[in-house]
Amino acid sequence: MKQMTGKQSISFAEPVYIEGSAAVVGEMEKEGPLGAYFSHTLSDAMCGQESWEEGESELQLAAAKLAMQRADVKPEQIRMVFAGDLLAQSIASSFGLVNLNCPLYGLFGACSTIGEAISLGAMAVAGGYGDRVLAVTSSHFGTAEKEFRFPLAYGNQRPPSASWTVTGSGACVLGKRKGKEKITGITTGKIIDYGLKDNQNMGACMAPAACDTICQNFVDFNRGPDDYDCIVTGDLGIVGKEILLELLKKKGYDVAGQHRDCGIMIFDSARQDTGAGGSGCGCAASVLAAYLLPKLESGEWKRILFVPTGALMSKVSFQEGRSVPGIAQAVVIEREEDL
């Protein structure tokens, strides 16, 4: 049965359900505007481990286990895992999930990875390749600063355009068991490169990709902004949001009334001194699990467009003076009314 829609999208003939989801975050995220929605918070950012990296692995494992618990499934019932993070060769996922003993596809989409994981997971379930799959991502302020910027002890100054990496992990169990939240379509993003080279302004690097994917979603599904209760980007932050809204206006779309950004929502930039907002694989993933999905479950929203964004850079590419390409993966999530 053909499920391809338009140029870059898939409309699932039968929806894929989010059977369980969970978010685990750090203390700073708990102190932000969404703090009341995060039920599980780390009291120790290193999770009792000897390094930031080992701590992030434990963080991701905790979110995965909690999502499976809420879905009432055991690891042996998970056909495959789609997981990723920001660390070299996705080591947070590799070391964190090894004890689940589940087949795993390691992914890298930078901060858009949860969108990539959910998209591939939904395709696997819809195609009959797995009854139940797990999508999980994570990020950690300590590991990301060490990996991409400066060690924490260095105490470097951060420009206002810089984002603050979220310490958090989000996980979703996807399957065919009917629930209140269902994935009805996806739009796979393209790599968009405007030639920007400032890794301290990732919002500007990612905004063009978000614009491209959102516009393609509108075209492929014959929809507009009013067809969604909320259009949520991943972590464009304050700077990237302004650029996105302007780019979309030039394309003929005004999404100001529907648009929200996970990076802006998760922190109070003025009070917490987080610059342009939050970022990292755990940013959109944790906001989705703790805040967005409950809005659908309660019936406050009927349909959202979830668009995590990623800056596809590495230490190697940055040191070689390369630009920072962006990508955005869109997932259409709706409330199941027939329950």
Partners of residue 5 on adjacent β-strands: 9
Q: How far is CA 50 from the centre of its chain?
A: 27
Sign of CA dihedral 145, 151, 152, 156: negative
CATH number of the domain within which 256 lies: 3.40.47.40
- Domain end residue (candidates: 126, 141, 175): 175
Q: Do 53 and 192 have their domain in common? A: no
| Gap between the Cα atoms of 18 and 105, Å rounded | 19
| Gap between the Cα atoms of 239 and 269, Å rounded | 12
Could you tell me the CA-to-CA distances from 46 to 53, 54, 261 in Å, in that order? 8, 7, 27
CA proximity to 111, closest of 326, 292, 268, 272: 326
Would you write out the chain's pLDDT as a tens digit for each of its 339 residues? 678 999 999 999 999 999 999 999 999 999 999 999 998 988 888 778 888 788 899 999 999 999 999 999 999 999 999 999 988 778 889 889 998 999 999 999 999 999 999 999 999 999 999 999 999 999 998 777 766 665 655 455 665 667 888 999 999 999 999 999 999 999 999 999 998 787 777 788 999 999 999 999 999 999 999 999 999 999 999 999 999 999 999 999 999 999 999 999 999 999 999 988 999 999 999 999 999 999 999 999 999 999 999 988 777 776 677 888 999 999 999 999 887
- Domain end residue (candidates: 117, 142, 175): 175
Give the pLDDT of residue 48: 84
Task: Name, in order, each residue with C-beta under 8 angstroms of 254's C-beta and a sequence gap of 6 or more.
Answer: 225, 248
Q: Do 40 and 127 have their domain in common? A: yes
Q: How far is CA 251 from the centre of its chain?
A: 25
| Gap between the Cα atoms of 116 and 101, Å rounded | 22
Contact 242, 118 (CB under 8 A): no
Q: Do 157 and 211 have their domain in common? A: no
Could you tell me the CA-to-CA distances from 264 to 233, 257, 287 in Å, in that order? 10, 15, 11
* Domain membership of residue 258 as a residue range: 181-335
Q: Do 57 and 78 have their domain in common? A: yes
Contact 174, 20 (CB under 8 A): no
Residue type, 249: K
Q: Do 164 and 49 have their domain in common? A: yes
Q: Do 245 and 162 have their domain in common? A: no
pTM of the model: 0.94
| Gap between the Cα atoms of 239 and 278, Å rounded | 12
Task: Name, in order, each residue with C-beta under 8 angstroms of 249's C-beta and a sequence gap of 6 or more.
Answer: none
Give the pLDDT of residue 193: 93
Number of domains in the chain: 2
Give the pLDDT of residue 317: 73
Q: Do 211 and 65 have their domain in common? A: no
| pLDDT tens by residue, 181-233 | 999 999 999 999 998 787 777 788 999 999 999 999 999 999 999 999 999 99
- Domain end residue (candidates: 175, 192, 214): 175
220 φ/ψ angles, rounded to the nearest 5 degrees: -65, -35
Q: Do 149 and 242 have their domain in common? A: no
Residue type, 133: V
Q: Do 128 and 185 have their domain in common? A: no
Task: Name, in order, each residue with C-beta under 8 angstroms of 280's C-beta and a sequence gap of 6 or more.
Answer: 86, 111, 139, 140, 141, 144, 165, 166, 167, 168, 235
Give the pLDDT of residue 154: 46
Q: What is the 3-state secondary structure (H, E, C) of 46-86?
A: CCCCCCHHHHHHHHHHHHHHHHHHHHCCCHHHCCEEEEECC
